[in-house]
Structure 1
């Protein structure tokens, strides 16, 4: 049997390279493996709950719970009970989290610039459009698997 296309392997390698670089750079801020993605989404979606955060990031709830607790312990985010549904917790960035968010976005923009070196604007737009389309295509399978 032969693999039909290597695109997912390339995307996986790209993702692992970026995460390894980011994890190394953010270690000095006590952000452990991959926690920066949770912090950025909380900063970008104030008041998000953990279930919606898990769905947004396409990770399981246990992973989200562990990452959120570590971010709370390090003072980057906090959670409060929802005013209407007392079973639900809302997540917000602390001042310290917002400050680190700025650094994370700067690093993300640097990674984007490096990845798109020697790309035309049309190529950049095409990659964005096509990868988004790929994600949308597979997302239904993920939703079925996760009962979302």
Structure 2
């Protein structure tokens, strides 16, 4: 069987390493750019939704949110109808770095797809979406304490 997940992992780690080095200049620590982008794109999102969106556990979300809030990139606000619910928003500082993060992402996409036709790039995208959807069920099961059947 072809091990595509190894290739996907190497691509992910390489791009994550590059981004982490480049984002030091805007005071973002390892992997934090992803949270800022998703909160910017989904203002008022709650932690559980963010967890599902980026596929990390709630503890990781809580740690990242706390750090980003401390560093002034995001803020938590109480929901107007239920004060127990905390909604996440980017601050002005977060809004100012968003274009830089998106430029880096667009550049990385162009680099990754060099030599691909538009049709091939769309096929890669479609295949990766299918792969992610195949994994979503397992992620949700394990996240809620279940076990996968090997």
TM-score grouping bracket, smaller chain normalisation: over 0.9
Segments of 5+ residues of structure 2 without an aligned counterpart are: 146-150
Corresponding position of 2:23: 26
Q: How many angstroms does 1:147 deviate by?
A: 2.2
Corresponding position of 1:15: 12
Q: Aligned partners of 1:60, 1:87: CA distance in 2, in Å?
A: 20
When the two structures are aligned, how many residues end up with a matched partner? 145
Aligned counterparts, 1:1-148, within 5 A: 4-147=1-144
Q: How many angstroms does 1:70 deviate by?
A: 1.0
Q: Aligned partners of 2:141, 2:83: CA distance in 1, in Å?
A: 28
Q: Aligned partners of 2:19, 2:76: CA distance in 1, in Å?
A: 25
Structure 1-normalised TM-score? Answer: 0.95
Segments of 5+ residues of structure 1 without an aligned counterpart are: none
Q: How many angstroms does 1:19 deviate by?
A: 0.3
Report the secondary structure of 2:108's partner residue: helix
Runs (4+) of structure 1 moved beyond 4 Å?
none
Q: How many angstroms does 1:76 deviate by?
A: 0.8
Report the secondary structure of 1:92's partner residue: strand
Q: Aligned partners of 2:64, 2:33: CA distance in 1, in Å?
A: 9
Q: Aligned partners of 1:138, 1:75: CA distance in 2, in Å?
A: 34
Q: Aligned partners of 2:61, 2:47: CA distance in 1, in Å?
A: 7
RMSD value over aligned CA atoms? 1.1
Q: How many angstroms does 1:55 deviate by?
A: 0.9
Corresponding position of 2:148: none
Report the secondary structure of 1:32's partner residue: coil
